[in-house]
Amino acid sequence: MKDRLGRTIEYMRVSVTDRCNLRCVYCMPEEGVPRVSHGDILTFDEITRICRIGSDVGISRIKLTGGEPLVRRGLSSLLGMIKELPGIEQVTLTTNGLLLEENINALVSNGLDAVNISIDTLDAGRYEELTRGGSLRKALEGMEAALLFSNLKVRINCVLMRDVPADNYVSIARLSENRNVDVRFIEMMPIGQGRDFGVVSGGEIYDVLKREFGEASGCEGKFGNGPAVYVRFPDFRGKTGFIDAMSHQFCGTCNRIRLTSEGCLKPCLQYAGGTDLRKLLRSGADDEHIRREICRTIYEKPACHQFSDCASAHTDVWNDERKTGCHQERGQIYETKDMSQIGG
Ligand code: SAM
Ligand code: SF4
């Protein structure tokens, strides 16, 4: 369905847990976040029900995320349950990759269409520091295991950080030189711990990569569910993408909503609150009631985030009405949770 600004909302990111086996410095505090009890997390049946009702109103693509989605036992069976729903065309996963090798067969058998693996550095020591204890080897083994499936789209997500040397990003980009993998560079967003980090723009890294690999060609067409802009460097097998949430605000074409692991439907990453679908589910609401609440949440989706000064964040696609809507978001309360709690 379309929201009040005419944006088509067709993509839902579903967080299956707020727990994680890593503590990435920009995502989680070292001590972790207060644990949500099992009873407060949506069951697989509840998640599937929301996806089914969502598909009735036009949600056709689902991303499973977290926290670390693979720490939730039986994730592949949830994936299968969602994939079987009429109207759901694609189910994908975002993971840190540590548990991917042991899960990939079951995930692919149950219909996984694509996997995004988060790897910010190929330096094992720096990886351990950034993730506070993670094993780069396990993440890379996860990636290689995923690449054995020729029909599975594999992408690497890399968040850009100021005090990491630029050649770090050259080596990450090289992952797509000889592999059938796309690498995406993501600008740090001021969510949770990410507020303490400066922004390195995708443009800065693009310049570094051009100096190293030569002029890239633009890639036409739609790849993935989001706002990444892709190029291909000469002789590279895979594409290189840039998700410039800070330097190029793309809210005007936003197509997504988010479901937290506790069942809160959030229309925008930045604002607190959302619609408590768990309460409805557990108080016996019928499908029609839940459908109405999903539609209302989508319809009222904020015009834009306020990560940077809204007034200077116009994109070409924004018309005057949208700009006005953008200013009206001021005064809303911002989300204070970490990315792992919202479902990144
Ligand atoms: N644990 C899984 C993983 O790391 O891929 C899924 C959840 S994680 C929150 C999803 C993505 O959000 C990761 O690629 C992570 O790097 C990214 N992320 C976390 N905090 C961020 C921030 N403040 N700005 C931009 N991306 C962020
Ligand atoms: Fe965990 Fe992913 Fe956050 Fe890292 S980015 S702490 S792996 S949820």
Over residues 28-68, the pLDDT tens digits come to: 999 888 888 999 999 999 999 999 999 999 999 999 999 99
Over residues 246-277, the pLDDT tens digits come to: 888 788 889 999 999 999 999 998 787 799 99
Helix (H) or strand (E) segment spanning residue 118: strand 114-118
Q: Is the CB of 159 under 6 A from ligand 1?
A: yes
* Residues 25 and 192 sit within 8 Å (Cβ to Cβ): no
Residues with Cβ < 8 Å from 284, sequence gap 6 or more? none
Angle formed by the axes of helices 287-299 and 44-56, to 10°? 70
Tell me if residue 324 falls in helix, strand or coil. helix
Q: Is the CB of 23 under 6 A from ligand 2?
A: yes
Tell me if residue 252 falls in helix, strand or coil. helix
> What are the phi and psi torsion angles at 156 (to 5°)?
-105, 130
Q: Which atom of ligand 1 is nearest to the CA of 187?
A: 25
The tokens for 320 are: 């005057």
For residue 303, the Cα-to-chain-centroid distance in whole angstroms is 19
When computed from its CA atoms, the radius of gyration of the chain, rounded to whole angstroms, is 19
How far, in Å, from the CA of 256 to the mean position of ligand 1?
Answer: 16
Distances (CA, A) of 275 to 44, 257, 267, 292: 19, 11, 9, 11
Question: What is the DSSP code string of 154-221?
Answer: EEEEEE--TTS-THHHHHHHGGGTSSSEEEEEE---SSGGGGGSPPPPHHHHHHHHHHHH-PPEE--S
Q: Is the CB of 183 under 6 A from ligand 2?
A: no
Flag whether the pTM goes above 0.85: yes
pLDDT at site 312: 36
pLDDT at site 32: 85
CA–CA dist 264, 286 (Å, integer): 17
The tokens for 164 are: 């990491």
Low-confidence residues of the chain, pLDDT below 50? 309-328
Q: Is the CB of 335 under 6 A from ligand 1?
A: no
* Residues 19 and 75 sit within 8 Å (Cβ to Cβ): no
Signed CA dihedral, 315, 319, 323, 326: sign only: negative
pLDDT at site 191: 85
Q: Is the CB of 92 under 6 A from ligand 1?
A: no
CA–CA dist 181, 204 (Å, integer): 22
